[in-house]
Amino acid sequence: MTVANWIVIIVPIIGVVGAAILYIVQKHIDRETEVRRERRQLYRSAAVALERSFQEIKKDKADAEMLQRALFEFEQVVAEIQVSAPDSVAEAWMKIPSLLLLLSWGSGNDPENYDFQSFEMHLKAFNSARAEALNQMRRDTFGDTRITLNIIMEAFAALGKVQQHLLRL
């Protein structure tokens, strides 16, 4: 057999092998893209559920039914995060439910048993855990991000001050 005969045999084989490799690589990329898309959707739902629960807890006279619904929605999202998110995100989110519970105890409707110092301490821990969870979600979704934990915490602190100001009006 001559070189020309070998070329006729080898070139199609190289083409088939190359196409197979390209197909496998593209399928992997498509799967990663789909997982990232699903996580972004989950993370949006988680952030909204968390904020809804937090806002219900902060109300002076919380509507028990609304709070129960918000916490149930939040509980579902946390369960999804445990299943679908990488360890760094799941670990950050696991701190939040107990802090929400502590906040709900401190924001009860009984003014005589209200412990403002304890509530402030739990609120600070909650804000820190919330910022860490959001930061981990950003890192998972976007990889390298310039939005730092401090930037997120400063944004929440500013929003808290705005809310306090609006309540005084």
Alpha-carbon distance of 126 to 147, in angstroms, equals: 19
Q: CA angle, corner 155, sides to 152 and 156, nearest 5?
A: 90
Residue 107 pLDDT > 60, yes or no? Answer: no
| Residue 19: pLDDT band with limits 50, 70, 90 | very high
Do residues 100 and 57 lie in contact, with contact meaning Cβ atoms separated by under 8 Å? yes
Average pLDDT (17-26) is: 93
Residue position matching structure tokens 């906040």: 103
Distances (CA, A) of 17 to 23, 28, 140: 10, 17, 33
Residues above pLDDT 90, as percent of the chain: 33
Is the pLDDT at 62 greater than 90? The verdict is no
Which of the pair, 79 or 58, is modelled with greater confidence?
A: 79
Model confidence, pTM = 0.72
How far apart are the C-alpha atoms of 70 and 56, rounded to whole Å? Answer: 8
Q: What is the mean pLDDT of residues 7-33?
A: 91
In contact, 152 and 169? CB cutoff 8 Å = no
For residue 66, name the pLDDT band (cuts at 50, 70, 90). Answer: confident
166 vs 73, residue with greater confidence? 73
